[in-house]
Amino acid sequence: MEKNQKIKGILFDLDGTLVDTAPDFILSLNNILFKHKYPRLDDQLIRSHVSDGSKKLTSLGFRINEDDPDFDMLRIEFLTEYKKNLLKNSFLFDGVSHLIKFLNNQKIQFGIVTNKPREYAEPLIDNFDELKRSRVLVCSDDIKESKPSPIGIKKALKELNIKNTECLYVGDHPVDMLAGKNAGLEVIACYYGYSLSINNNQYTSNIINKPEELIDFVKNQI
């Protein structure tokens, strides 16, 4: 972000950034694996791939590739189970409530750009009063290309009526970093999420280990 450029908005990824959805993915995938007499997967293994999406989790659980004739059926079955469990155990990461309160007090708009389809994202957001304050939600099925394409972020910027130089993008996955950079935004890597760590982050030196650390970053820009 340019020096002395005021932050007017922050866009967030959803899973692994604002909400810890891993418990419900773990429950759902292992339920389907049990039904089909496959061994359950380790919780941490599933957790580390939540931000990779349902195709990756289906491949991981059933040890098959996307060209397997049973792949689509099993993925749909997994997603149906996940939709049933969507709100059972997911929770806001510690510090998200404080962060959003700070943004509201500073009159900084926030929005969500996620690769999660709207049928799963909307109920999840509606479950948390803090996330209902989001000014914009862009999901994978709202656009032609999902992240790492910048299309979703650019759509959100347009709806918020702010420039890319006035906004940050915060996420926990390499595709988040690429999408933000491709849209010309400064990006923030969440090491408390599922995918990014010191071992695979070649995208940014802006790192937060908990949501509240974003407050200090923003204060330094005000």
Q: Which residue has the tokens 């189970």?
A: 81
Catalytic residue among 13, 20, 24, 172: 13
Hey, what's the torsion of the CAs at 84, 122, 56, 148, to 10 degrees?
180
Catalytic status, residue 126: no
Catalytic residue among 15, 20, 172, 176: 15
In 3D space, the residue among 139, 106, 110, 107 whose CA is nearest the CA of residue 124 turns out to be 139
DSSP 3-state of 63: coil
Q: Which two tokens stand for residue 21?
A: 């959805």
Catalytic status, residue 67: no
Beta strands in the chain (DSSP E): 9-12, 19-20, 91-92, 109-113, 137-138, 167-171, 186-190, 207-208
Q: Is 196 exposed, middle or buried (0-12, 13-18, 19+ CB in 10 A)?
A: buried
Please list the active-site residues.
13, 15
